[in-house]
Amino acid sequence: MYKKLTAELLGTFILVFAGTGAIMINDIAQAIGHVGIALTFGFVIVALIYSFAHVSGAHFNPAVTLAFWSMGEFNKRNVIPYIAAQVTGAVLASLCLLFLLSENFSNVSEVSYLGATIPSGSVSQSFGFELILTFILMIVICSSAVHGKATKDFAGLAIGLTVGLESMFAGPITGASMNPARSIGPAIVSGNLEHLWVYIVATCLGAMLASMVFLRVFKSDN
């Protein structure tokens, strides 16, 4: 079990370090751009899935863990340890970025609160976007990595491309979290917790709704 938890902690650390690090460095140097940030999130997910899927299942996302549990694809005894490892990895990544880049800014607001996900419009708008974005992501995960007839060798590519695509078009509106841990890490370390609940509740609801749709509509074709 310790190998699985280590993989989840390390994988989530790398995801948040690379993704939110790209946001922070773009704020500092204006050298990456929105498309570059979206591609960073997509590319790192592809790399992490192919690196750790055989160890832990490559969740790196509490919403995914909860959705797999709700589907009966994950042991309920491992849910809390997995989520704890994921959140710990995210917080450690944000702490590392704060330490490494602190000389480049005087206030965390200058670097998007360490790459936190913050609504650019109304809270309801971001809630709706995050629910739908995570629903789409979880449907892709289930259809490419869980379905019995899926070509699972390409699951990492399908999931990573989905993350990159959704980050590219929805990032400017919501931050395109799709992942509570990815939002919790920067929020806790930066101290900006104002809208954090949106990125926890909406993403978990979206993932679990997708798992229900998959079970009722698609899995019967296994």
Mean of the pLDDT values across residues 163-171?
Answer: 96
- Tell me the pLDDT tens digit for each residue of 97-156: 999 999 999 999 999 999 999 999 999 999 999 999 999 999 999 988 776 666 677 888
Can you list the domains of the chain with their CATH numbers?
2-221 (1.20.1080.10)
What integer pLDDT is reported at residue 221 of this predicted model?
Answer: 55
Q: How far is the C-alpha of 65 from the C-alpha of 14, rounded, in Å?
A: 18
**The one-letter amino acid at 79:** V
Q: How far is the C-alpha of 54 from the C-alpha of 167, rounded, in Å?
A: 26
> In 32-154, which ranges are continuous DSSP H helix?
33-56, 62-71, 79-101, 112-115, 123-141
What integer pLDDT is reported at residue 218 of this predicted model?
Answer: 76
Nearest to 54 by CA among 176, 187, 140, 153: 153
Q: How far is the C-alpha of 182 from the C-alpha of 204, rounded, in Å?
A: 13
The pTM for the full model equals 0.94
Q: Tokens 């070509």 belong to which residue?
A: 151
- Tell me the pLDDT tens digit for each residue of 13-29: 999 999 999 999 999 99
- Tell me the pLDDT tens digit for each residue of 42-95: 999 999 999 999 999 999 999 999 999 999 888 999 999 999 999 999 999 999
What integer pLDDT is reported at residue 149 of this predicted model?
Answer: 66
The CA dihedral of 34, 35, 40, 43, to the nearest 10 degrees, is: 160
Contacts of 200 (CB under 8 A, 6+ apart): 180, 183, 184
- Tell me the pLDDT tens digit for each residue of 194-221: 999 999 999 999 999 999 999 888 765 5
What integer pLDDT is reported at residue 150 of this predicted model?
Answer: 62
